Chains A and B, each alone.
Chain A
Amino acid sequence: GENVEQHPSTLSVQEGDSAVIKCTYSDSASNYFPWYKQELGKGPQLIIDIRSNVGEKKDQRIAVTLNKTAKHFSLHITETQPEDSAVYFCAASIKGWNTDKLIFGTGTRLQVFP
């Protein structure tokens, strides 16, 4: 079955710097790669996703890149702000009709210091 690894487990940056979180997946059939932000005591919130027919996607300060050959995908946050501090999870799934079971990475705790 699918296995998703995520690095680093913790990341501390200064406000305004960039943060990069990386994930690798094992199942080459996976075609959907969402990223979630989870604040303490809350459920995960989708922040950006990418599908396997796209190599990069950007939404304001957040971007995701996908390397299908290497089975890597990464989250890039630019101009970080203290409110970006949270736990971030990557996930992978084979998205099709009735087949989108998400497998989550181990999470990255991001701290942005003012």
Chain B
Amino acid sequence: GAVVSQHPSRVICKSGTSVKIECRSLDFQATTMFWYRQFPKQSLMLMATSNEGSKATYEQGVEKDKFLINHASLTLSTLTVTSAHPEDSSFYICSARDRLTGEQYFGPGTRLTVT
């Protein structure tokens, strides 16, 4: 089946630094990728929709200057958390939509801890 990878799986950073998370579709091309945030024992909240070659679409309340999204190829989207603060600590999950089948596949998630 289709595989989506995320790197890193875990990251700890200091407050004020930036962290980049990669999302890759390994065996299919994805014109659209989605980024979600999940706090402990809560649901997945969509942060933004990433479209290859164009600007991402952010959900209401998500700061686009803080959560920078780049979707430079059909297999890679990156999320950069800029000037991270402890409240940004969360589980970040991406999904990728297969451009041929339209099916959406989720990555394994990245746990970000900001100290």
Question: How many A-B contacts if CB must be within 8 Å?
Answer: 44
Question: For this complex, into which size category does the number of interface residues on chain A fall?
Answer: 10 to 19
Choose one: A89, A97, A102; the contact of B104 (CB below 8 Å).
A102
Question: For this complex, into which size category does the number of interface residues on chain B fall?
Answer: 20 to 34
Q: Which of B71-111 contact A (CB under 8 A)?
A: 93, 95, 97, 102, 104-109, 111
Q: Which residues of B are interface residues toward A (Cβ below 8 A)? A: 4, 6, 31-32, 34, 41-46, 49, 93, 95, 97, 102, 104-109, 111
20 contacts between A and B (CB under 8 A): A36-B106, A41-B111, A43-B4, A43-B6, A43-B106, A43-B107, A43-B109, A44-B106, A46-B105, A89-B43, A97-B102, A98-B31, A98-B32, A100-B104, A102-B46, A102-B95, A104-B45, A105-B43, A106-B42, A107-B43
Q: Which residues of A are interface residues toward B (Cβ below 8 A)? A: 36, 41-46, 89, 95, 97-98, 100-107
